[in-house]
Amino acid sequence: MSQPEAPWQSIAGRKQQEQSNAIPKDWIIKTRPAAHRNNVLTIPRECGILSAREVELTERYDATALVQELAAKRLKSVDVVTAFCKRAAIAQQLEAIARAKELDEHLDRTGKPMGPLHGLPISVKDSFKIIGRDASIGYASLCYKPAETNSALIEMLLQAGAVIHCKTNIPLTLQALDSHNNVFGRVLNPANLNLTAGGSSGGEGALIAMRGSVLGVGTDVGGSIRIPAMCNGLVGVKPSHGRIPYAGQENGSVAGTETLGIRSVAGPIAHSVRDCELFFKAIGDLEPWAFDPECVAQTWEQQVVRSALRTPSLSGHMRRLRVGIVKTDGITTPLPPIQTVMEEIRNALKSNAAIEVVDLDITSLLSQCQTIANGLFGVDGANAAFDLMEATSEPISPWLKSRLRRKQSLTAERIRDLQARRNELQTRFLDIWKSDGGHWKDATGSASNMDVFICPLAPHPTPAIDTWNTVSYTSSFNLLDLPAATLPVRPIRVSDLDGKVPDQDSAPNGWEKYNRKLWDGDRSVFLGGTLCVQVVSQRKQERVLLQALTKLQDSLAVLKEDQAVKSKL
Residues labelled as active-site residues: 125, 200, 224
Ranges of H-type helices in 72-180: 77-88, 93-110, 152-159
Cβ atoms within 10 A of the Cβ of 382, count? 21
Cβ atoms within 10 A of the Cβ of 360, count? 18
Taking Cα atoms as reference points, which of 509, 442, 483 lies closest to residue 304? 483
CA distances from 227 to 60, 112, 126, 142 (A): 25, 38, 17, 26
34 CA to centre of own chain: 30
127 labelled ligand-binding? no
Q: Is 187 left (phi over 0), alpha (psi -120 to 50) or beta?
A: beta
3-state secondary structure of 323: strand
User: What is the rounded distance in angstroms from the CA atom of residue 91 to the CA atom of residue 54?
Assistant: 20
User: What is the rounded distance in angstroms from the CA atom of residue 154 to the CA atom of residue 171?
Assistant: 21
CB 202 within 8 A of CB 228: yes
200 labelled ligand-binding? yes
Burial of 297 (0-12, 13-18, 19+ CB in 10 A): exposed
Q: How many CA atoms lie within 13 A of 125 on its CB side?
A: 31
Please give the single-letter amino acid code of residue 324: G
Q: Which residues contact 15 (CB under 8 A, 6 or more apart)?
A: 136, 143, 183, 184
222 labelled ligand-binding? yes
Taking Cα atoms as reference points, which of 111, 88, 84, 89 lies closest to residue 100? 84
221 labelled ligand-binding? yes
User: What is the rounded distance in angstroms from the CA atom of residue 322 to the CA atom of residue 326?
Assistant: 13
224 labelled ligand-binding? yes
Instruction: Return binding residues.
Output: 174, 200, 221-224
Instruction: Return binding residues for substrate.
Output: 174, 200, 221-224
